[in-house]
Amino acid sequence: MALTDASLPGALPPLVRPATKPWGLAAATTGSHNGSETAVHSCQEDSLPTIHEYLAAINIAGVTLFAVCGVAVVCVVLLYADTLKHIMRKAPSSAKTNSAFVLSVYPVVAMSTYCAMVVPRAHLLAEAVTQGIFTAALYQLFCLCMSYGGGEAHMISAMSSDSLSLRVGPCCCWPCCCLPNLQVNKRHIQMLRILVLQLPVIQALVHMVLLVMWAEEESLYHVNYMYFQPLIAVSILCGMWGMTMMIKMLSTFLTSHKLNLKFLVLQMVLLLSKLQGLITRIILWSNILPCKPPISPTVYVNVIYNTMMIAEMAALCFLARFLYVRDLEEKEPTEKKQEEGVEKASDQVRGGEEVMSSSCFTLDVVAHAAPGKLMPIS
């Protein structure tokens, strides 16, 4: 009788490797040892389904969530269109383009986030779009501040006696507390412009490299993502530092434009996207979300993140509309009074010209009627 492994006393029965189910759910291995059975289940947390698998797996709650978020995105677009209508009618010509670009960040982020909600594999692209439109809008807000001040040359001449403080957030503690105040001149204004302008340039290059890695092989993206984070963080901090210095410098010069609130409403786009992205990653690492293939924990996390972002973009778009439209309505009576004053002055000038012409005509008639009677006054 030939001995086999199973015939040996105390030997384990041969292991049978079952067929692996899709999405790595139940690669189960069962065995008996001392009469006990164990089952090991593995689930790929970072797997993302295709759009067909995703839409086939969602239930009525998912469809309802998609519908509500779609309505919110439409409301954001309509609010933007209404605000844009007021800007094109009432805003100065030098501020129309910059204002329209700054306000476009909310519908663009809302639409890209909704696309990432419907198409799970578009989440990375939506993050890149959000980062890119925010950095470009931040530079447009810098240009809008210049337009409010009447241009760079006029602003420098009007604020030549003021100083530019470097001790502002995020550089408001050591060693920035030892930095001196600078004079407002062209060189220092150009320094602020460069600090803000580097943000969209560097962010675009970094995200392009990350997207190329992800397109070539997803593992390259996951391995090298953390190495790019210090560069991204330094670029964001420098850009926000330059913009904060600009806002603080103009806060007393342009009090009626509410630059602090406009900057805060735009700044919240970056803060919410980064903070909520970190929170959702912590939730993913904690392994508290279920895995129901093809819906992985990453898909659940992305849906939570995208839902919150869409709701917040609707609220921020409403606040931005209130700030910009109210700013235009407050300045409209002043502009009308100025126009009425100019019209009254021109009417007075025209009336004086008519009086002078009529008096000259009277003198001519008298001179013809009684020649030699009008003598020049010595």
Residues 308-348: tens digit of each pLDDT? 999 999 999 999 999 888 877 766 544 444 444 434 544 55
Mean of the pLDDT values across residues 83-106? Answer: 90
Q: Is the peptide bond before 293 cis (omega within 30 degrees of 0)?
A: no
Alpha carbons 142 and 147: distance in angstroms, whole number: 9
Give the closest residue to 95 by CA, choosing from 249, 254, 201. Answer: 254
C-alpha distance from residue 378 to each of 52, 209, 375 (Å): 103, 90, 9
Alpha carbons 224 and 9: distance in angstroms, whole number: 52
What is the per-residue pLDDT for 202?
Answer: 93
What is the per-residue pLDDT for 71?
Answer: 95
- Mark whether 245 and 275 lie in a shared domain: no
212 inside domain: yes
What is the per-residue pLDDT for 371?
Answer: 53
85 inside domain: yes
49 inside domain: yes
Domain boundary among 327, 342, 364: 327
Residue 188 phi, psi (nearest 5) = -75, -30
- Mark whether 274 and 129 lie in a shared domain: yes
Domain boundary among 253, 283, 302: 253
- Mark whether 213 and 164 lie in a shared domain: yes
What is the per-residue pLDDT for 16?
Answer: 39
217 inside domain: yes
- Mark whether 185 and 227 lie in a shared domain: yes
7 inside domain: no
Residue 378: is its pLDDT beyond 50?
A: no
Domain boundary among 253, 288, 311: 253
Percent of the chain with pLDDT over 90: 27
What is the per-residue pLDDT for 234?
Answer: 92
Q: At 368, is the pLDDT very low, low, confident or very high (cuts 50, 70, 90)?
A: low
Residue 75: is its pLDDT beyond 90?
A: yes
- Mark whether 127 and 207 lie in a shared domain: no
Q: Are strands 182-183 and 36-37 parallel, antiparallel or unpaired?
A: unpaired
361 inside domain: no
Asked whether the CA dihedral 218, 305, 70, 99 is positive or negative, the reply is negative
142 inside domain: no
- Domain span at residue 52 reads 45-135+270-327
**Range list of H helices, 217-296:** 218-250, 259-285
Q: Which secondary structure element, helix H or strand E, spans residue 84, and what is its range?
A: helix 60-90
- Mark whether 49 and 113 lie in a shared domain: yes
Residue 223: is its pLDDT beyond 60?
A: yes
- Mark whether 233 and 165 lie in a shared domain: yes
Rounded to the nearest integer, the mean pLDDT of the chain is: 76
Alpha carbons 260 and 248: distance in angstroms, whole number: 8
215 inside domain: yes
- Mark whether 176 and 130 lie in a shared domain: no
Quick one: 15 exposed, middle or buried, by C-beta within 10 A (0-12, 13-18, 19+)?
Answer: exposed
What is the per-residue pLDDT for 43?
Answer: 62
- Mark whether 301 and 278 lie in a shared domain: yes
Q: Which secondary structure element, helix H or strand E, spans residue 86, and what is its range?
A: helix 60-90
Asked whether the CA dihedral 225, 227, 230, 232 is positive or negative, the reply is negative
How many separate domains does the chain show? Answer: 2
Alpha carbons 349 and 339: distance in angstroms, whole number: 15
- Mark whether 275 and 131 lie in a shared domain: yes
- Mark whether 199 and 246 lie in a shared domain: yes
- Mark whether 154 and 247 lie in a shared domain: yes
- The residue among 166 and 33 whose pLDDT is bigger is 166
